[in-house]
Each structure stands twice: as C-alpha cells, then as structure tokens.
Structure 1
Amino acid sequence: MGLALDEPDEKDHVVTINDIMVAIDPDIEPHTENLTLDFSQEANGLVLVGNESDCC
C-alpha cells in the first residue's frame, strides 16, 4: 500500500477527512479502516499507523 500526492483516478472513492480531500483506490479501501496518517521522523515522511492485524 502506498501514498501519492496526485489527482484521483476516475475509479477512486473520494472522501473529505478533516477538510482534506482523499482519494482511495477501491481495491485497498477495506484495508484502510482505522488507519491514521502521521509524520515519522524515523521514516522522514508520512506513514500510515494502525490496523496492524490486517497486513496487506
């Protein structure tokens, strides 16, 4: 699973979360439940945190 800062594809599910428009690929949408977008100094960037029991 990855993150991208680009325009949504026509098949993406677009939602607004905390006033931010987010496009989610419907193939991975079930795996995004209970995830939090965070910044990690170790990774030097954005990371998805949570849902560790549902590994993709």
Structure 2
Amino acid sequence: MGLALDEPDENDQVVTINEILVAIDFNIEPYTENVILDFSQEKNGLVLLGNESDCC
C-alpha cells in the first residue's frame, strides 16, 4: 500500500483521516479501517499506521 499526493480517481472513496481528506482506491478500502495517517521522520513522509494484520 502506498501514498501519493494526487487528485482522486472517479472510483476512489474520499474519507477524512485525522482531519485530512484522503482518496482511497476502492480495492484497498477494506484494509484501511482503523488506520491513522501520521508523519514518519524515519521514512521522511506520511504513513498509514494500524491494521497491519489484515494487509497483504
């Protein structure tokens, strides 16, 4: 799973995570429940945290 700064596609679901609008591809939307959007200095960018046991 990755993150990109881009406009949402027509099939994306737009949700609010930590008060930020996020477009999520409908194919991975079930894996994004109970995740948080955070900044990682180690990875030098935004990351999604949580729900790792359900991820591919």
TM-score, normalization by structure 2: 0.82
Q: Which has the higher helix share?
A: 2
Identity %: 80
Paired amino acid for 2:24: I
Q: Report deviation, 1:8.
A: 0.5
**Which aligned segments of 4 or more residues in structure 1 are displaced greater than 4 angstroms?**
none
Structure 1's unaligned 5+ residue stretches are none
Map 1:9-28; keep pairs closer than 5 Å.
Answer: 9-17=9-17, 18=19, 20-28=20-28
Partner of 2:2: 2
Q: Distance in 2 between matches of 1:15 and 1:35?
A: 12
Extract unaligned runs of 5+ from structure 2: none
User: How much is the aligned-residue C-alpha RMSD, in angstroms?
Assistant: 1.3
Supply the distance in 2 between the matched residues of 1:21 and 1:47 (Cα, whole angstroms).
Answer: 14
Q: Larger Cα Rg: Structure 1 or Structure 2?
A: 1
